[in-house]
Structure 1
Amino acid sequence: MSDRVLVVTGGSRGIGRATALAAAADGFDVVFSYVSDAGAAESLVAEIGAAGGRAVAVRADVGVEADVLALFAAADAVGRVAGLVNNAGVVDRAARVDEMTVARLERMFRINVIGSVVAAREAVRRMSTRHGGRGGAIVNLSSAAALLGAPGQYVDYAAAKGAIDSFTVGLAREVAAEGVRVNAVRPGIIDTDIHASGGIPDRAEAMRGAIPMGRAGTAAECAAAVLWLLSDAASYTTGSIVTVSGGR
């Protein structure tokens, strides 16, 4: 049984995948969720295994409580949960608020907010000294959209990530004396396929002019911030949100 298991939601692509790779290289046994792309999940498991690490892929939709419970049960079978990265999230097609349906809003908040809260609940139940745990760290994935509002594109997504910011600070203070640190990473424009899922596949390139550093960020750069927050180097850091946005 491992003494250092990291749960990563939405680990088969983008920032989640980069985080899983970096965490495995750092000595974590990684248990990650994916929703539909079994090939990508299997490829990641194989890549981590080939490098001498250990990864377990679990098909789980974080918007479904039973799936989150199954994900953590799989982690328990590997060993002691020492960390959680709440990475899974969705966007939708660009739309104004006056064009949005309730079905779209419910999906946005169920996955991006409720799923993260439920996953954090399960992590705290395992890591908090109040529950007999030995401590650990949670890192939530926010977005620069929480500050910018994403007008004309996805105000609902921005609002969901604003909720993640508030949740990060509140939970951090709630469990600070129980050995659990809670922080967030707030990415800006990152070159991943999440833009394609929102119907704007070339968004990262198109936004270059709005980024002071003149380029989009990479998933690996976000993963580096996540790994720092998980590490002992950040032992006195909780309730913080680290912005990785190229100055935007």
Structure 2
Amino acid sequence: MSKTLLITGGASGIGAATARLAATRGYQVAINYRSRDAQAKKVVADIIAKGGKAMALPADMAREADIVRMFQETEKALGPVTHLVNSAGFSQRTRVDEYDAALLEKFFAVNVIGLMLCCREAARRMSTKHGGKGGAIVNVSSMASTIGGRIGSSAYAATKGAVDSFTKGFAREVAPEGIRVNSLRPGMVMSEMTEGRLKDAAFRTSIEASIPMRRVGEVHEMAGAILYLLSDEASFITGAMLDAAGGGYII
């Protein structure tokens, strides 16, 4: 059976690294993006140049209609979705006393509700209850969920805590129906989301001093962990949280 992997937020960072690695392991890859059109098409071109099969498709994770269309277009072009990685996310540092409702709604619309709707669409296709043949899902969470995030990241951490809790519950629901669902919790990783701050030498030094391995992670390391959780090597693992964070935090 062909393996079709849909990756949300696949144009950059962990999502793009996962797309490239998955293609080398025989997956057909659908790369979702919201605004990074050129980057998404570059990832697709790189995969095709190496003999793989990939496509890019825009969709906003805050819009239910976009999510439904994304699954439909993936199926039309590549066949049934057998694997899903929810990597799309929104992050903005803000103190609690600076919150406004619109910002919080955006956090949860993208990081939680959009992810849950993607899982809904995947379950409707993968579950043996609905005539599917099973599948595997990885939700990209964060180590922020374990301690409430670094200072200024409490809203982001709250969404990732929701992702972890949902992952556990969803995994139990669909385990008898052939679907495995796990969460990857990266620590600080060098990516488009973090590179601006990590270019500050003092900030990077302080961050690395807080990590037991004394360094930030790389996107290829996260991709490897995701591909393991998607693979048959992890066939008895579901409802798990895998911390990929260099040992977590030194507090």
TM-score normalised according to structure 1 size: 0.95
Aligned to 1:182: 181
- Is 1:97 aligned with 2:96? yes
Which segments of 5 or more consecutive residues in structure 1 lack a partner in the other structure?
A: none
Aligned to 1:213: 213
**1:188-226 CA-partner distances (Å, limit 9, x unpaired):** 010011126xx7353772411111111100111011110
Cα distance, 1:3 vs structure 2: 2.6
1:96–1:151 contact (8 Å) kept in structure 2: no
Distance 1:152 1:205, change over 3 A: closer
Aligned to 2:123: 124
- Is 1:202 aligned with 2:199? yes
What amino acid sits opposite 2:131 in the alignment? Answer: G
2:144–2:150 contact (8 Å) kept in structure 1: no
Aligned residues: CA RMSD: 1.4
After the TM superposition, which segments of 4 or more aligned residues of structure 1 sit over 4 Å from their partners? none
Cα distance, 1:151 vs structure 2: 4.8
Report SS of the residue matched to 1:113: helix
- Is 1:231 aligned with 2:231? yes
What amino acid sits opposite 2:232 in the alignment? Answer: D
Aligned to 1:84: 84
> How many angstroms apart in 2 are the aligned matches of 1:120 and 1:95?
28
2:68–2:121 contact (8 Å) kept in structure 1: yes
Aligned to 2:241: 241
**1:27-56 CA-partner distances (Å, limit 9, x unpaired):** 010011111121101110100001110111
- Is 1:160 aligned with 2:177? no
> How many angstroms apart in 1 are the aligned matches of 2:242 and 2:31?
23
1:90–1:194 contact (8 Å) kept in structure 2: no
Using the TM superposition, name which of 51-60 and 149-158 deviates more.
149-158
2:47–2:54 contact (8 Å) kept in structure 1: yes
1:139–1:182 contact (8 Å) kept in structure 2: yes
Identity %: 47
**1:12-161 → structure 2 map (5 Å cutoff):** 12-77=11-76, 78-92=78-92, 94-161=93-160
> How many angstroms apart in 2 are the aligned matches of 1:109 and 1:200?
23
Give the length in aligned residue pairs.
Answer: 244
2:3–2:82 contact (8 Å) kept in structure 1: yes
What amino acid sits opposite 1:178 in the alignment? Answer: E
> How many angstroms apart in 1 are the aligned matches of 2:151 and 2:99?
11
> How many angstroms apart in 2 are the aligned matches of 1:52 and 1:247?
37
TM-score normalised according to structure 2 size: 0.94
> How many angstroms apart in 2 are the aligned matches of 1:60 and 1:32?
10
Report SS of the residue matched to 1:194: coil
Using the TM superposition, name which of 187-196 and 225-234 deviates more.
187-196
2:168–2:240 contact (8 Å) kept in structure 1: yes
Cα distance, 1:115 vs structure 2: 0.5
Which segments of 5 or more consecutive residues in structure 2 lack a partner in the other structure?
A: none
